[in-house]
Amino acid sequence: MEKKIPYKIYLEEDELPKMWYNVRADMKNKPAPLLNPGTLKPMTAEELAGVFCDELIQQELDDDTAYIPIPEEIINFYKMYRPSPLVRAYCLEEKLQTPAKIYYKFEGNNTSGSHKLNSAIAQAYYAKKQGLKGVTTETGAGQWGTALSMACAYLGLDCKVYMVKVSYEQKPFRREVMRTYGATVTPSPSDTTEVGRRILAEHPGTTGSLGCAISEAVEAETKLDGYKYVLGSVLNQVLLHQTVIGLETKAALEKYNIKPDMIIGCAGGGSNLGGLVSPFIGEMLRGENQYQIIAVEPASCPSLTRGKFAYDFCDTGKVCPLAKMYTLGSNFIPSANHAGGLRYHGMSPILSQLYHDGYMEARSVEQTAVFEAATQFARVEGILPAPESSHAIRVAIDEAIKCRETGEEKTIVFGLTGTGYFDMVAYGKYNDKEMNDYIPTDEELEKSFSTLPEVNL
Amino acid sequence: MEKKIPYKIYLEEDELPKMWYNVRADMKNKPAPLLNPGTLKPMTAEELAGVFCDELIQQELDDDTAYIPIPEEIINFYKMYRPSPLVRAYCLEEKLQTPAKIYYKFEGNNTSGSHKLNSAIAQAYYAKKQGLKGVTTETGAGQWGTALSMACAYLGLDCKVYMVKVSYEQKPFRREVMRTYGATVTPSPSDTTEVGRRILAEHPGTTGSLGCAISEAVEAETKLDGYKYVLGSVLNQVLLHQTVIGLETKAALEKYNIKPDMIIGCAGGGSNLGGLVSPFIGEMLRGENQYQIIAVEPASCPSLTRGKFAYDFCDTGKVCPLAKMYTLGSNFIPSANHAGGLRYHGMSPILSQLYHDGYMEARSVEQTAVFEAATQFARVEGILPAPESSHAIRVAIDEAIKCRETGEEKTIVFGLTGTGYFDMVAYGKYNDKEMNDYIPTDEELEKSFSTLPEVNL
């Protein structure tokens, strides 16, 4: 007999993942290695040690170990806010009059308001274990900075955050949350770093970018004794930590014998999408199962749908390693959109490779349509979603409507990565019908592609 | 053998309350009846029908029925965000090095960010059932208005919110959340009502008060066809709906054989505290058990600790019924403090009677000490608490520290009513050490008491 499926599926403590899943172990085509920006040769562990903690470097470079144990201290921290619920969207289904079954994995039930905490605690833990005093990082919309501040407060580590200036000014409350957790927050570009001063001189009055804040955080780390740099997305290690999302989702589905047909996630740098889909793509790679995997990105920053699969710099200042990824060019500045977490020019090398090899598809959506979906979702499901997450909602609703038309009873799972409490300026613009949709022209993208570095391996 | 107590106790769906508990049924001294502001005679159901829905009036006046079934539609809505977790504050205990065991019932895991949703959905449901078009209400800090907007959006009811002007201006994001849920939000006092125009004429430039917004919302309701007025605290019906908090808490504690020694809650109008403690006080009233119950209020608005137990008006405009309660006088305007939900001049008649009869004690705390507790809690427990909730945290920490000194292993339960995402201005003031503590002088209170109406029943 089929078990009755509750509104929210919560796993018991003993059902929670004890290991992260490293999808690279099952990939035939491994993601391309990071390159040293000076020599354009693959980065060695020794070279990475200038920037990252030792154990995180191991995880970054490990293409072979399928399961990596989660340290007990991290499991204990996870208990503070995990398991996150897998919610059956009964109310949304009814509203849409769809035969589709919709589930969402909700990662917003913690003060950082998003899934970012999953990797923040891991990275902070390894920094602490290595005896460091603190970490430096950048943040755009502020979700990552908040998550890292929380993790550092918990472990007693210092945390220095470079926050993209436009967000620093437009989101004073995000900044205040980080300060409440004891972090130092500096608007970027700043005059506290060489790269910041250079960018300020070249672009007076600039409101900053994520690529620029990364450059500053990396430089700050190299000049401080006892500090390392940490990053909230794109990297292999981050996707690894985030697999706790997908593993929990898979366990919850299996507990009730639910087989999803499609899995949908928003994609900025890839941290949430990669974490959610890795365990499912693992089954595809091993030939055990088949799923439709959909990455959703903003039409204003379409790295998968319109970018090039090429080596590119990860940051604007070109001080970081190069990665082979779908990219719009490291100088690409997306037009103002309200999904600050989806404004990165590149995409996780793992996801880029999987996309290139046909394991997932990608769609781009415009922000007015995204906020329409967000509002519709909020009114029936009760949760006010982050603009980033709402990209996934948009496509989930589109697919559910298709099911209504075809009569198919598909099972749709999407990642609801976070809440929108700090995004009310954006909701206000939508409520006032003042939201713009801007899509870069082919000419703009060509111009941006022309700055891609030439790499001959 | 003692069952292992998880970090978070979640009840299963079939363990959730099916009935609300009406503590009045077990009270020997019933709360005094509401009085008609014109005749100063007890309000009849017929008189109340001008303002409230029929079934809510029944609940308001019912002093005898101990258990009232929760309609299935409300139970279904509750499933969207309930059960709320009862969390063992292991990390806080460790930080405080206390032998006390601390638990908190966390009501902030929904978009309204607080417990207010428990009564909002009930009141909206009965309005819908009665065939109404919509409801009017007031909101101070915005938690109640947000909750009601969510409930109305879900049921397809119109929602008109009068928001205290100072909050409307200082909390534009709260306003935007309500608009996202489809509500109309008007800053109060406004020129849309007679009482608003009168108050504006008498006090030009006033930034409003809750009592004034109540007067406007009630007037608006009487002039609109198909609308009733709803209120988020103070009333007997609200405390009844909020008992879902206490009933869940009790069930979760009993599931693990935990016997609390003390139960602590913040007290503004009494909705959260009353809901949390009612089932426990019921045991005390029936002579089955003994608990230490502590109400915590701001020193700047000390209705229980320094107020008078007397009949008073519930609103500034004196259009609402009078209630017998601990009150500071309906003209009392608390000094600026950041716990907007705890700025009401009076207190629930039920809680007032119970306090008067010795079933609970009360403490007042100053806001700098409250934010110190809030920050300490956030850093170890991960949740950013609302300023209101942090009053309970302050006393829970104080009591846990006492246990450290005496070595007593007391079990402390407190209500964590909500999150502070929309209160970052307040946290900023605390972070910048710009927070003021102001306590009204005896002279100020005497002046305010002199406006209490004379009532001879």
* Residue B340: band (very low, low, confident or very high) from pLDDT cuts 50, 70, 90: confident
Over 50: is that where the pLDDT of B1 sits? no
Domain spans of chain B, in order of start: 9-15+83-113+242-449, 20-67+116-229
Query: What's the confidence (pLDDT) of residue B457?
Result: 74
| Confidence tier at B413 by pLDDT (50, 70, 90) | very high
pLDDT at B81 over 60: yes
Strand bridging mode B19-21 / B67-69? antiparallel
Nearest-Cα distance to chain B for A99, in Å, is: 20
Q: How many CA atoms lie within 13 A of B10 on its CB side?
A: 20
Q: If you ran DSSP here, which 8-state letter would residue A418 be given?
A: B
Distance CA A318, CA A330 (A): 9
Q: How many CB atoms lie within 10 A of CB A454?
A: 7
Question: Looking at CA atoms only, how far is residue B193 from chain A in angstroms?
Answer: 25
Inter-chain contact B150–A382, Cβ cutoff 8 Å? yes
Mean pLDDT within B70-78: 95
Q: Which residues of B286-306 are buried (b: 16+ CB within 10 A; e: fewer)?
A: eeeeebebbbbbbbbbbbbbb
What digits encode the pLDDT tens for the residues A13-34? 889 999 999 999 999 999 999 9
Q: In a 10 Å sphere around its CB, with 0-12 CB exposed, 13-18 middle and 19+ buried, how is residue A292 labelled? A: middle
Question: Hey, are the CB atoms on B111 and A383 less than 8 Å from each other?
Answer: yes
Chain A residues lying within 8 Å of B424, measured CB to CB? 172-173, 176-177
pLDDT at B216 (0 to 100): 95
Mean pLDDT of B12-34: 96
Most B CBs within 10 A among A173, A338, A370, A381, hence the mutation to make, goes to A173
Could you tell me which CATH class the domain B9-15+83-113+242-449 is placed in? alpha beta
Mutate to test the interface with B, among A13, A424, A430, A431 (most CBs of B within 10 A): A424
Q: How far apart are CA A164 and CA B192, in angstroms?
A: 43
Shortest CA gap A427–chain B (Å): 7
Q: Which fold has domain B20-67+116-229?
A: Rossmann fold (3.40.50)
Closest CA–CA distance from residue B115 to any residue of chain A (Å): 14
pLDDT tens digits, B87-125: 999 999 999 999 999 999 999 988 889 999 999 999 999
Mean of per-residue pLDDT scores for chain A = 94
Q: What is the pLDDT of residue A316?
A: 81
A426 touches chain B (CB under 8 A): no
Cβ atoms B379, B386 nearer than 8 A: no
Does residue A419 surpass a pLDDT of 70?
A: yes
**Which residue of A153, A421, A428 is in closest CB contact with B421?**
A421
CA distances from A143 to A163, A174, A425, B40 (A): 11, 8, 16, 55
Q: What is the dihedral of CA A248, A251, A257, A260, to 10 degrees?
A: 50
Q: Which residues of A touch B7 (CB under 8 A)?
A: 13, 79-80
Question: Residues 350..409 of A with a Cβ closer than 8 Å to B: which?
Answer: 375, 378-384
Judge: A421–B424 Cβ closer than 8 Å, yes or no.
no
The minimal CB distance from B173 to the residues A180, A380, A424 is found for A424
The predicted pLDDT at position A1 comes to 43
Domains A19-67+116-229 and A83-113+243-449 share a fold: yes
List B309's β-bridge partners, or say none: B326
Interface subset of B 94-153, CB within 8 angstroms of A: 109-111, 113, 150, 153
The dotted CATH code for A83-113+243-449 is 3.40.50.1100
Mean pLDDT (whole number) for A83-87: 94
> Does domain A19-67+116-229 bear CATH number 3.40.50.1100?
yes
Question: What local confidence, expressed as pLDDT, does residue B3 receive?
Answer: 65
Which residue does chain A place closest to B107, by CA atoms? A109
The predicted pLDDT at position B2 comes to: 53
Q: pLDDT, tens digit, for every residue of A169-193?
A: 888 899 999 999 999 999 999 999 9
Beta carbons of B149 and B123 less than 8 angstroms apart: no
β partners of residue B52: none
Kindly indicate whether the ipTM for this predicted assembly is greater than 0.95, answering yes or no. Answer: no
Long-range interactions of A202-210: CB distance < 8 A, separation 24+ = A206/A165, A207/A164, A207/A165, A207/A166, A207/A169, A208/A164, A208/A165, A208/A166, A209/A164, A209/A316, A209/A333, A209/A343, A210/A138, A210/A140, A210/A164, A210/A343, A210/A344
Tell me whether residues A110 and B383 touch, CB distance under 8 A.
Answer: yes
